[in-house]
Amino acid sequence: MGPVTAGVFQLLAVTGALALVHIPLGTYMAGVYSSKRHLRVERWIYKGIGADPDTQMRWPAYLRGVLVFSLAGVLFLYALQRVQGVLPGSLGFASIDPDQAFNTAVSFVTNTNWQSYYGEQATGHVVQTAGLAVQNFVSAAVGMAVAVALVRGFARSRSGELGNFWADLVRGVVRILVPLAFVAAIVLVACGVVQNFSGIHEVGQFMGGSQEWNGGAVASQEAIKELGTNGGGYFNANSAHPYENPTPFSNLFEIFLILVIPFSLTRAFGVMAGSVKQGYAILAAMGTIWLGFVSLMMWSEFSHHGPAFELANGAMEGKEVRFGIAGSSLFAVSTTLTSTGAVNSFHSSFTGLGGGITMLGMMLGEIAPGGVGSGLYGMLVMAVVAVFIAGLMVGRTPEYLGKKIGTREIKQAALYILVTPALVLVLTAAAMALPTPGHSMTNSGAHGFSEILYAYTSASNNNGSAFAGLDADTQWFNTTLGIAMLLGRFLPMVFVLALAGSLARQTPVPFTAGTLRTGKPLFAGLLVGATLIITGLTYFPALALGPLAEGLA
């Protein structure tokens, strides 16, 4: 079997596994967020935090819950890193410097998981488990809660109520993320991923000599890192490290974990909105973009010409031999079209066009299928824009799921779309214009520009993957990337929740012969086209200066 054929079979295997769980998992998640019953452990949590889970919230109260909880997470994780040197299980590592502690705290609370440090050389067991792993669960649950609030905005009428943030948060963790992560961790341990609390020890090398490595609760963190589209690895090599991702099967399983909740949430959306056809239309748009990007990535990496490429059957630089080009391409597209940021290869070593594909995946807003929760609400915002465009074409007031899309709604959608491009382009321009950030670049020309552009694209879109080749552990990058992560996470949430509140206050309009049928393939195609055109026009000049210039050189 040739490498291209193997790549096709890997793609089919992942797609088939996602199809098998789509309906049961999506229906289950809809039931979780629609249930009026509270589990006993959930009642204990509500009592401990002083929350009433039955109180309905309008969007300002829901937003306050999101912001207060996230701020508490940033402060706790920052403090934990600053006192690491005196904690048990620190493995002798010193406390984290203030700017890096700020960057890391913001990174994990915003579901970005950008790491400007070597995990195996900087963080001990307590910070990894009580700090980073906990945020992997709760930051993902926050994204899911905001998505569910927007779905309720479409489903409810004449109330403005979006549910209860604390109930949505706790249920997302207790009923969805913890059980799935528990099962996933067992599978990863069976694959050979380590799970222990050992100290630093010597590991023999294949060619002789030895290295020093520390153990850790890697399997459990790897499970929620992928399942919650987080991405922060125990080791600097991330999912290319054999302790985190040892075999081709574990590689495919981790790709499945990255995609399973975002794709299944479209089913939950359809069930909660009262029309599964609407969920399938969103799923079709997401799946079309994902499959298109995977195909383009494999083509760019397999078809590169030259003696070295021909001997290796493609561009193997920066890729693990045990995964090959197909497994690396599939992983790279899946991690950058979601907000995961985990990597099993060095994206900087991809071909010029391949590196551009990873960047464009993030620039789309990570909506195909996107991060846990954030992908669904991002695609629903794009659906609002697509409906508005269709309404302009036929001269009719646009409607989506029985709600009119008026001036207020389209302004909120437009603000949502404009936040991340503004952050990416302004901060990239500042970094290129100032002398200090330029010293962190290890490459010049188009590739060096791509390193900077990728870093701010990753941070602003809460992805967390790195292009490699950029020394980001400086005060400039720790600070500016931290700011980009904060604004890129919470400003869009403000506009999403405001949109949800506006929709929930409306009275549904009746379906008529002139209403755009948004559950049909035509609308899915319109949604794909609107997404690609709007993002492409925004970022094309920057892409032309970096990956496109390098790929065409």
DSSP for 110-125, written as a single string: TT-----S-HHHH--H
Q: Which tokens in the block code for residue 327?
A: 């497994």
pLDDT lower than 50: segments of the chain? 308
For residues 467 and 449, what is the distance between their CA atoms, to the nearest angstrom? 11
Domain locations in the chain as residue ranges: 372-552
The span from the CA of 308 to the CA of 294, in Å, is 23
Q: At what angle do helices 352-363 and 521-545 cross, to 10 degrees?
A: 120
Per the structure block, which two tokens stand in for 35?
């249930």
Give dist(CA 314, CA 328) in Å, integer: 12
What's the pLDDT at 438? 59
Question: Contacts for 473-479 with beta carbons within 8 Å, 24 or more apart?
Answer: 473/100, 473/116, 473/117, 474/436, 474/437, 474/440, 475/99, 476/431, 476/434, 476/436, 476/437, 476/440, 477/103, 477/116, 477/437, 477/440, 478/99, 478/100, 478/102, 478/103, 478/116, 479/99, 479/102, 479/103
pLDDT of residue 200: 76
Question: What is the Cα–Cα distance from 302 to 346, expressed in whole angstroms?
Answer: 16
At residue 369, the 3 state secondary structure works out as: coil
- Residue 233 sits at φ, ψ, to 5 deg, of -95, 160
Whether the model clears a pTM of 0.85, i.e. scores above it, the answer is: yes
